[in-house]
Every structure is written in C-alpha cells, then in structure tokens.
Amino acid sequence: MSSLNLTQQSLSLAAGLARLQPKSDSVSARISSGQRIDRPAVDSAGLGQAAKLDAQQTRLSAVQVNLQNGISRMQVTSGQLGQISKILTRMGEITALASNNLQNAKDRSLYQAEFTQLQDQMRQSIGGSTAEIGGTVGVDQPTAKFNDKALFGPSSGESLSIGLQADEQLALPTLNFRIGAIGDLIKQDATGAYTFNLNTAGIPAALNTALDQASSGAATIGAVQSRLEFASGVVTTAKTNQEAAISAIRDADIAAEVTSLSRLQILSESHNAMLAQARDASGNILKLLGRG
C-alpha cells in the first residue's frame, strides 16, 4: 500500500513538473526577446492594434519630414526677404544722399550706379520672364529658390500635409514680388533700362511702398513658420504617445517576467527534490520487501 502511494505521488510530481516546464520556457522566451506576445495566440487583438499603430507611426514620420521641409522653406524665404529689405533700405539711403543739390553730376552718377547694381541684385533674386519684369532677357533661374522653386513668383497652388487626415493641409503663402511696388523697381523697358531710377519722380514714396510689401511678406512668413513649428510639436507628441502604446502592447514587463521565472524555478526545484525523495523512499521499501 505504501509503495503504491509513493508511486502515485511520484507520478503526480512528475506531471506537475511537466506542466511547469512549458510555462518556464515561455517566460524565458519573453525575457530573451523582450516581447510580451511570443505567439499570436497570446493576444491576437493586441497584435492587430499594434500593426495599426505601426502604420500610423510611419505616416507621422512622413508628416514630420513634410513639416521640417516646410519650416526650412520658411527659414530660407525669411532670409531672402531680409536681404531684399536691406537692399530697399540702402536704396532709400542712396535716394536721400543723391537728393543733395550741392553735389555735382559726377557724384550723383556714382549714386545712380550703385542704385542700378542693387536693382540688378533684386531682379536676379526675384526672377521672372520678360512678360513679368520686362527687359530684353528674363531671369529664368533666380537666386531666391528652394528645391529649385522660385520663392517670389506667382503661386502654383502648393500645399503641405501637416497631419494624418486628408484635410490637414496648409496652403503655402504666395509672395509674388514680380508685381506691386517691388516689381516696379525691377522692371525694365524694351531697351533693358530700368523704368525707375534716382531721377524718377516719387522714388522715395515708391521705396517706402516696396518696404511695406517686403514687411508684409515677412509677417506672413513668420505666421506660417510659427504654425508649422506648433504642428511639428503636435506630431512629435503624437508619435511619443503612440510609441508608448505600442510598447504597452508588445514589450514584456521584464521585472514581472523575471519574478515569474524565479517562482517557476523554485517550484521546479521543489518538485525535483520531492520527486527524488519519493523515488528514494520507494527504493527503500522495495529493499525491505526483498529482505522479508
């Protein structure tokens, strides 16, 4: 009877040990991989949700690139605007200096030469066809460009995606300096001479209007750049939150898994020790029966 009981106890301990082993293997696999879901059956719904979040993360990364390109364009545009404003300011200064009637014609011609050079610089920066800015030859490759697109020409309806939804689009501002007061300053006649010079009536007022046009453009660019920077912050926060959500679904809690593995190892060692004792006891009983 005792031998039979010991045999049953041994079988029960062996069965318990066999049940512990797969659990221990599963916990070890999660610790080594760092993944909570070591097979789809563990959390099929979680895997599906993680896949959706992965797709959104990829799209958010693309939106981040778009936003950074937009911010870069605004920065380049702002820099070019600053140069145009400096040119206009210098042209105003030259106009004031040239208005001194005590100067002779030669001195005045030197001012006109610099004034014309500044007009050349603005014309080269802004660019345009002969239909837009006159002259004998247009400027097809202006220096004020971003990704080979002129910054101060007519709009081509450019927009920027700033979010995941289709309607989250930002229309890029149009700064067409080929028209208006600035456009008048860089226009040439059929001979290639500028229509505005130091002798043109009302040149100080024209320069002030041109400065107002440049200042208005700078304010527009600043407003758009501010929005892009805020939108970039929103996307960055969304990405961070989604990364945390994906981690909660996929990543294993290493501290909890290590604790679980330690518990399973203790149980396994206890089962092995008790199984060894049961086997020893069974062997001793058989020896005693043999002697009897």
Helix boundaries (H) for 99-202: 105-126, 130-133, 180-186
**146 beta partners:** 149
**Lowest-confidence pick of 38-47, 66-75, 171-180, 242-251:** 38-47
Locate the domains of the chain by residue range: 2-34+257-291, 62-249
Model confidence at 1, pLDDT cuts 50, 70, 90, reads very low
The predicted-structure confidence for 102-128, as pLDDT tens digits, reads as follows 777 788 889 999 999 999 999 999 999
The tokens for 183 are 């456009």
The predicted-structure confidence for 26-38, as pLDDT tens digits, reads as follows 666 566 655 666 6
Query: Mean of the per-residue pLDDT values for the chain?
Result: 81
Its pTM stands at 0.72
The predicted-structure confidence for 67-85, as pLDDT tens digits, reads as follows 999 999 999 999 999 999 9
Higher pLDDT, 157 or 138: 138
Q: Are 128 and 139 within 8 A, CB to CB?
A: yes
Calculated CA dihedral for residues 162, 171, 147, 58, nearest 10 degrees? 20
Domain 62-249 grouped into CATH 3.30.10.20: no
- What residue type is 291 in one-letter code? R
* Residue 140 pLDDT: 93
* Residue 111 pLDDT: 92
Distances (CA, A) of 26 to 30, 34, 189, 232, 259: 6, 12, 84, 41, 14
Helix boundaries (H) for 129-253: 130-133, 180-186, 203-250
With pLDDT > 70 as the criterion, what percentage of the chain qualifies?
69
Q: Quick check: helix, strand or coil at residue 143?
A: coil
